[in-house]
Structure 1
Amino acid sequence: MNKRRLIVVAACAALAGNLALAQGDGYPAKPIRLVVGFAPGGAADLVARAMSDALGKALGQPVIVDNKPGNGSSIAAEIVAKAPADGYTLLIASPSSMSVNPSLNPRLPYAARDFIGVTKITTSPLVLAVNPATGIRSVPELIAAAKKDPGKLNYSSSGNGSAPHLGAALFSQVTGTEMTHIPFRGGSLAIQSVMAGDTQVTFGTSPSVLPQASGGKLRALAVSTRERSPLVPGIPGMAEAGLPGYHLEFWYGMFLPAGTPAPVVKKVYEATVQAMGQPQVKATLARDGTEVSVSESPAKFEAFLAEDGKFWTKLVKSANVKVE
C-alpha cells in the first residue's frame, strides 16, 4: 500500500469514527465519570450515589462518582465545562452552578452556555433547622432572636451561592433580620457545625437534616416551601410556621459539556430517566425527603433552566448576596 493510499485510508477511518460518535454508535465504551460539586455525605452526593448504579446498568458501563467540592460547586462545574464533549464526563448540579455562581462572580472560568442540560432529576424543599441548645422552637422565636442581637446568630451553608446560602439570605430579606454566614465545603460539614454548636442555624437539604432531626441532634422548624411538603412529614410549611411571604424550592439536574453530540445526549437522557424510575432509587431518595422529578426532554429542561435562572439571579441581586 503506497503512502497516498495510507493517508486516504486513515482519513476515511477518522471520518467513520467521527460519524459513529455523532450517531452515538458504540457509546458508552468505557466507564463514565459523574462529577459532584460537594463533599461526600451531602445532598448532591446522596442523590448521585442513589442513582449511579442504576444509571450504570442503563448505560451498560460503570458510573463512578467523583466528588470535587469547593467554591460553591464551581470547581466541579469548571471541570465538566472543560472536559471533552464525548459523554464520558457528567455533572450533577443545582441552581448554584448554573445561575447563582455566575451571578455572584462574572469572572468564573465557565458560563451556563458551556453546558447542555440533560434533565432535572430531583426536587425538594430545604429544611430550616437550629441547634436545640439555642432554645429556639419556632420560626417566630428565630426571628425574634435574630432581631434582638443582629449578626450574633451564625448560619451554615454548603458554600457561597449554594441553595442553603440563598435560602437563609431570602429569610433575612423577608424578615428584616441579620445573621452571619459561615460557608463550608459541603452540606454534611455545614450540618455538623450546627450540631456542634459552632453555628446555630441552617437551611439544609432534606437528606442532610432529617436524619439528625429525627435523632434529636437538630430541631427542624419548617420546610422552605409555603405549604407543607409530603416529602417531609410532620414539619410545617412557612405559611403555617408564621412566614407566608417565604417560598423556596430547589432541584438537581444532569448536565453534559456543550458540544456533546445529540445522539449521546439522547442516550444519557434516556438512561437517566430509566435510572430515576427504578423503585429502589425512588425509595432511597424519598427516605431523605427528595422526590424524583425528570424533564419531558432535554429541550424542556433547557427551557426550564432559562426561566428558573431568572428567579435565582433576581434573588442574588435583591438580597445583596456577595462572594465572601
Structure 2
Amino acid sequence: MKKLILATALFAVMSPLSAISQAADYPSKPVTITVPFGAGASIGSITRIVADKLSARLGQPFVVEYKPGAGGTIGSAHAAAGKPDGYSLLVSATGTMSIAPVLYENLSYKSDELVPIAQMMRVPFVIAAGTGFKGSTLPDLVKQIKDEPGKYNFASTGNGTLVHLGGQLFLNKIDGKAEHVPYAAGSEVAVALISGDVLFSVANISTVAPHFATGRIKGLATTGPERFPLLSDLPAASESGIKDFAVRHYVGIFGPPGLPTEIAEKLNKEINEILRDPDVDKAFKAQGDLPTPVSRETFAQTVSSDAKIWGGLARKMNLSTN
C-alpha cells in the first residue's frame, strides 16, 4: 500500500515536470499545419508566412498541408484526430469554428474541444454595393432596400458562410428584406456586384477592395466597432446609424483536444513575436489582412463568443446540410 501511495505521489510530481520538459524540447521533428481550405485562399497565404517564420525560429520544418472540403470540416476532422503532442496543428476561422458545427451535425469532432493556440488576424468585413446602387452612403443603401422590400439581391460566398450570415444580420438590423444569392467564391461575388446582378454584399475586404479605386464597387462601411486602419476613409457601420452590428473574421491556430498547455503557450509566444515582425506586418497588410497578436485567453474568449453569436444565428435561420 505504501508503495502504491509513493508511486502515485511520484506520478503527480513528475507529470507536470514531464510536460515542461516536453515543451522545452519542442519541436524535435517536423510539424504539420493543416489548412482546411484550398491553396488559393488568403488563409493559406498568411499560414505559409507564419509557418516559414516558425521553421526559422524553432529549427524544425513547419509544413503547411491543404485538406479542403465540406466547409473546412474535412481538414478540421483530420487535424482534430491527431496526437495531442504539438506536431499536428490546425488553422481555422470564424465560419468553420462557429457555423460549420451547426451545418454539419454529425461531425467526428467537437470544435469547442479544439485547443486555441494563437490568433493570427482578426479583421472586419466591408459593406459593399455594386453598379445597381443609386446612392453613395450606407444610409442610402438602407433607404434603397427598404423603399422596395424584396426587390434586391445580396451576394455571399455560399450558404452558411460568414458572408451569408453577415448579410442576413445586416438586413435584420435595418428591418430590410433582400434575396440571398450564394456564389462559389469571392471573385464571383465581385463580378456579380460589378455586373449589377446583386445590389450589395457584406464581404471579405480582399474580395471587393481592389475594385474601390475604379468605382465599379463602392465600399460603404466596415463592420468592426471602429474604423479599420487599412480602410480608414470608410466609416464603421456604427457611425452610419447601424448600432450593435459587428462582423469580424478571425483566423487562428488550434491544436487537438488534450494538447499540453506548455506547448500551446510556447507556440502562442513564438507566433505573437512573428506577428509583430515588420516584414510580416507588411506581408499581411499587402493582402488586406492585419496581424493581431493576443494572449491565448483572449483568443479563446473570441472563439467562444463568436460561436455563440454566429452559431446562434445559423440555428435561428435553420441552416443545415443534413
TM range (shorter): 0.7 to 0.9
Residue 7 of structure 2: aligned partner: none
What is the rounded CA distance, in whole Å, between the counterparts of 2:161 and 2:310 in structure 1?
A: 11
SS at match of 1:137: coil
Residue 273 of structure 1: aligned partner: 272
Percent identity of equivalent pairs? 27
Residue 238 of structure 2: aligned partner: 239
What is the rounded CA distance, in whole Å, between the counterparts of 1:39 and 1:129 in structure 2?
A: 25
Which residues of 2 match residues 195-274 of structure 1 at below 5 A?
A: 195=194, 199-274=198-273
CA separation of 1:303 and 1:175: change in aligned 2, threshold 3 A: closer
Are 1:312 and 2:310 matched, yes or no? yes
What is the rounded CA distance, in whole Å, between the counterparts of 1:219 and 1:36 in structure 2?
A: 31
Residue 150 of structure 2: aligned partner: 150
Cα drift, residue 163 of structure 1: 2.4
Q: How many residues align?
A: 303
Residue 176 of structure 1: aligned partner: 175
Q: Deviations over 1:237-264 (max 9, x none)?
A: 1133342342332322210111223343
Cα drift, residue 115 of structure 1: 1.0
- Residue type at the aligned position of 1:210: A
Residue 76 of structure 1: aligned partner: 75
CA separation of 1:286 and 1:197: change in aligned 2, threshold 3 A: same
What is the rounded CA distance, in whole Å, between the counterparts of 1:73 and 1:115 in structure 2?
A: 14
What is the rounded CA distance, in whole Å, between the counterparts of 2:30 and 2:213 in structure 1?
A: 38
Residue 91 of structure 2: aligned partner: 92
Cα drift, residue 25 of structure 1: 5.6
Q: Deviations over 1:188-247 (max 9, x none)?
A: 554455446555432222233322323444221111124422232211211333423423
Residue 27 of structure 1: aligned partner: 26
CA separation of 1:48 and 1:192: change in aligned 2, threshold 3 A: farther
Residue 45 of structure 1: aligned partner: 44
Q: Deviations over 1:15-49 (max 9, x none)?
A: xxxx6997146533443332223334444234323
What is the rounded CA distance, in whole Å, between the counterparts of 1:79 and 1:185 in structure 2?
A: 24
Q: Deviations over 1:265-302 (max 9, x none)?
A: 23322221222121111122234443322222x34433
Residue 322 of structure 1, aligned match among 305, 319, 322:
319
CA separation of 1:265 and 1:225: change in aligned 2, threshold 3 A: closer
What is the rounded CA distance, in whole Å, between the counterparts of 2:208 and 2:55 in structure 1?
A: 28
User: Any gaps of 5 or more consecutive residues in structure 1?
Assistant: 1-18
What is the rounded CA distance, in whole Å, between the counterparts of 2:182 and 2:258 in structure 1?
A: 33
SS at match of 2:245: coil
CA separation of 1:195 and 1:96: change in aligned 2, threshold 3 A: same
CA separation of 1:304 and 1:137: change in aligned 2, threshold 3 A: closer
SS at match of 2:71: helix
- Residue type at the aligned position of 2:319: K
Which residues of 2 match residues 115-134 of structure 1 at below 5 A?
A: 115-132=114-131, 134=133
SS at match of 1:214: coil
What is the rounded CA distance, in whole Å, between the counterparts of 1:40 and 1:213 in structure 2?
A: 26
What is the rounded CA distance, in whole Å, between the counterparts of 1:29 and 1:183 in structure 2?
A: 45
CA separation of 1:209 and 1:36: change in aligned 2, threshold 3 A: farther
Cα drift, residue 116 of structure 1: 0.7
CA separation of 1:179 and 1:73: change in aligned 2, threshold 3 A: farther
Residue 8 of structure 1: aligned partner: none
